[in-house]
């Protein structure tokens, strides 16, 4: 293992099968993530960003290739890797405190310790005083804070976030982004964030992995060497944002052309398969 890299995505291909036909989603994707890095993954809609993140979390398996954490192949959910979902994924029948505590139930901790840690984390994400509320009484931003506290509860080394801010309004997501950067700096954990928002990527990332359209490959890895805190009106910020935008727009354009062509071919293939099945 490269001594600097904590996560290694090695030549990963993911294929979904539908009615006997194989649909390659991700093709020969390789990249490395260093410990304590903040990596953003961007790419056209539907290119497989969530699938890639789920494979890193051990929730899905690569069809070919491997993903390693500190040199060891990830074969299932890993105690040192946790995930924050866009849809919050909270249990409505549990209070805020109980939702966070849930992350700790697999650990050999006393109830008192679990509660103490959960309370500390809620304070860290700015939810002190809401321990006994139920998710339905919280705003989207607050629910996402609970999701983040729950992901941090297991004291992971790697936090994976899938579009964690995109369901939130502009002000709420800006505040949460700042808090996440503070948590990143204070805890020294590795963060990997999938986002549609290129400005968000330039604001947060050390490295931006730009994916191509399907079958998805790594189009480019862009290093962002801007000083922090970063401001979106800084000329260097604007330039990097524009470059990323151009890269992604090229991908979107090829997606549209390919989509039109492929749609016809795929439709024909699916029709042929259905006809064959009807005849047999
Ligand atoms: N379990 C599955 N079975 C079959 N196809 C799937 C499955 N999960 C995802 N796909 C397909 O894989 C492709 C990638 O999906 P994925 O959700 O990873 O993309 P994404 O880049 O996260 O999209 P978005 O930008 O919309 O969030 C899509 O075409 C989707 O239809
Ligand atoms: Mg997705």
Tell me, using a 6 A CB cutoff, whether residue 259 lines ligand 1. no
Does pLDDT of 261 surpass 80? Answer: no
Ligand 1 centre distance from Cα of residue 59 (Å): 14
pLDDT on residue 233: 94
pLDDT on residue 258: 64
Q: What is the pLDDT of residues 135-176, one digit of tens each?
A: 999 998 899 999 999 999 989 999 999 998 888 888 888 999
Q: Which atom of ligand 1 is nearest to the CA of 86?
A: 27
pLDDT band with cut points at 50, 70 and 90 for residue 269 = low
The least confident of 158-167, 188-197, 224-233, 244-253 is 244-253
pLDDT on residue 226: 97
Tell me, using a 6 A CB cutoff, whether residue 219 lines ligand 1. no
CATH code, 5-80+156-279: 3.40.50.300
Does pLDDT of 3 surpass 90? Answer: no
Give the whole-angstrom CA distance, residue 15 versus residue 114. Answer: 40
Ligand 1 centre distance from Cα of residue 50 (Å): 7
Does pLDDT of 114 surpass 60? Answer: yes
Does pLDDT of 237 surpass 90? Answer: yes
Residue with CA at minimum distance from ligand 1 atom 30: 46
Q: Which of 21, 50, 195, 248 is the best mutation target for the ligand 1 pocket, counting ligand atoms within 8 Å of the beta carbon and taking the most?
A: 50
pLDDT on residue 9: 98
Q: How would you classify residue 65: left for phi > 0, otherwise alpha for psi between -120 and 50, otherwise beta?
A: left
The least confident of 51-55, 152-156, 219-223 is 152-156
User: Considering the chain, what is the average pLDDT of its residues?
Assistant: 89
pLDDT on residue 262: 57
pLDDT on residue 252: 79
The model carries a pTM of 0.88
Across the range 184-198, mean pLDDT stands at: 95
Across the range 237-245, mean pLDDT stands at: 94
Ligand 2 centre distance from Cα of residue 197 (Å): 12
pLDDT band with cut points at 50, 70 and 90 for residue 250 = confident
Give the whole-angstrom CA distance, residue 32 versus residue 251. Answer: 22
pLDDT on residue 265: 54
pLDDT on residue 272: 55
pLDDT on residue 88: 76
pLDDT on residue 89: 82
Residue with CA at minimum distance from ligand 1 atom 3: 16
Q: In sequence order, what DSSP letters do the residues of 90-136 get, joined into one string?
A: --TTS-HHHHHHHTTTTS---HHHHHHHHHHHHHHTT-TT-TT--GG
* Orientation angle between helical segments 140-153 and 111-124, nearest 10 degrees: 130
pLDDT on residue 47: 92
What are the helix (H) ranges across 154-218? 170-187, 198-204
Q: Which atom of ligand 1 is nearest to the CA of 47?
A: 21
Ligand 2 centre distance from Cα of residue 236 (Å): 29
Cis peptide before 215 (omega within 30 of 0): yes
């Amino acid at each position: 293992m490269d001594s600097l890299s904590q996560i290694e995505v090695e030549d990963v291909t993911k294929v979904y099968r539908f009615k006997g036909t194989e649909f390659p989603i991700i093709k020969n994707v390789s990249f490395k993530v260093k410990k304590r890095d903040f990596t953003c993954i961007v790419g056209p809609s539907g290119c497989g960003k969530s699938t890639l993140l789920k494979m890193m979390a051990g929730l899905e398996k690569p069809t070919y290739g491997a993903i390693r954490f500190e040199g060891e192949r990830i074969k299932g959910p890993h105690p040192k890797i946790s995930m924050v979902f866009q849809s919050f994924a909270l249990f409505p029948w549990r209070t805020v405190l109980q939702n966070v505590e849930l992350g700790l139930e697999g650990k050999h901790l006393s109830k008192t310790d679990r509660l103490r840690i959960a309370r500390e984390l809620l304070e860290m994400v700015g939810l002190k005083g809401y321990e006994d509320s139920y998710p339905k009484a919280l705003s989207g931003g607050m629910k996402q804070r609970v999701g983040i506290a729950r992901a941090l509860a297991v004291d992971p080394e790697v936090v994976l976030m899938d579009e964690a801010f995109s369901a939130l309004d502009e002000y709420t997501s800006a505040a949460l982004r700042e808090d996440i950067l503070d948590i990143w700096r204070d805890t020294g954990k590795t963060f990997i964030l999938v986002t549609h928002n290129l400005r968000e990527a330039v604001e947060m990332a050390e490295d931006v992995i730009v994916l191509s359209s399907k079958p998805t490959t790594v189009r480019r890895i862009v290093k962002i060497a801007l000083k922090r805190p970063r401001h979106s009106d800084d000329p260097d910020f604007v330039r990097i944002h524009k470059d990323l935008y151009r890269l992604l727009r090229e991908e979107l354009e090829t997606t549209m052309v390919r989509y039109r062509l492929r749609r016809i071919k795929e439709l024909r293939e699916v029709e042929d398969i259905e006809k064959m099945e009807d005849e047999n």
